[in-house]
């Protein structure tokens, strides 16, 4: 090259790759990568929404299963009084509807269990003891009353039963509760009473 007065031509310069991106121009590869990242983010957000929706639906199903279990208890308790008053025809449709509800739950792997009368050793993993009653009617520790049934999903407890546990009176240890009890002829010890 010389220092002449003639202007230089661009062809005299060797071509070099540009290392910086110019505004408004991106390679097709980088545009595809940005598009793929956007789709990946949208897919992740949709998956999170789906997980939240399934979790919310599961909570509703468990709550409905608890209510179906309570309906089963109430209908069982009402059978004799309704039949004695000639109201069996009003009890039967409710029982059929309850059975249909429980069957629909079972078909989806949801089972409602009422632990009433079962010994403590059998139900200890799937009940929450709200209180204790001590009475002569109990020969061992067992579920005296069910407040809420347990709910199982595919054999795994997803909602613990809330129960009142019964136990025999032990005169030697003084296990009688100080209050009068909830059930006739029995002494009660409440969980929140510090017993």
Q: How far apart are CA 157 and CA 36, in angstroms?
A: 41
Q: How far apart are CA 61 and CA 67, in angstroms?
A: 10
**The overall pTM is greater than 0.85:** no
Q: Which residues contact 145 (CB under 8 A, 6 or more apart)?
A: 116, 133, 163, 164, 183
Q: How far apart are CA 110 and CA 58, in angstroms?
A: 10
**Tens-place pLDDT, residues 96-140:** 999 999 999 999 999 999 999 999 999 999 999 999 999 998 999
Rounded mean pLDDT of the chain? 84
Closest CA to 107 of 157, 65, 49, 150: 65
Share of the chain above pLDDT 90, in %: 62
Radius of gyration of the chain, Cα coordinates, nearest whole angstrom: 35
pLDDT band per the 50, 70, 90 thresholds, residue 3: low
**Tens-place pLDDT, residues 8-58:** 777 777 877 766 655 666 778 888 888 899 999 999 999 999 999 999 999
């Amino acid at each position: 090259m010389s220092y002449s007065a003639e202007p230089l031509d661009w062809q005299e310069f060797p071509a070099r790759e540009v290392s910086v991106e110019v505004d408004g121009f991106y390679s097709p590869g980088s545009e595809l990568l940005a598009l793929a990242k956007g789709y990946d983010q949208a897919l992740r957000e949709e998956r999170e929404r789906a997980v939240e929706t399934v979790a919310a639906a599961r909570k509703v199903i468990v709550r409905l299963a608890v209510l179906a279990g309570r309906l089963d208890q109430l209908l069982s308790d009402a059978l004799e009084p309704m039949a004695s008053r000639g109201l069996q025809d009003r009890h039967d449709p409710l029982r059929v509807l309850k059975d249909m509800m429980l069957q629909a739950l079972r078909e989806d792997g949801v089972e409602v269990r009422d632990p009433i009368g079962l010994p403590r050793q059998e139900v200890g993993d799937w009940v929450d003891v709200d209180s204790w009653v001590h009475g002569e009617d109990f020969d061992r520790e067992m579920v005296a009353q069910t407040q809420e049934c347990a709910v199982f999903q595919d054999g795994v407890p997803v909602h613990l039963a809330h129960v009142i546990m019964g136990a025999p009176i032990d005169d030697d240890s003084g296990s009688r509760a100080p209050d009068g009890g909830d059930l006739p002829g029995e002494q009660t010890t409440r969980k929140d009473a510090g017993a």
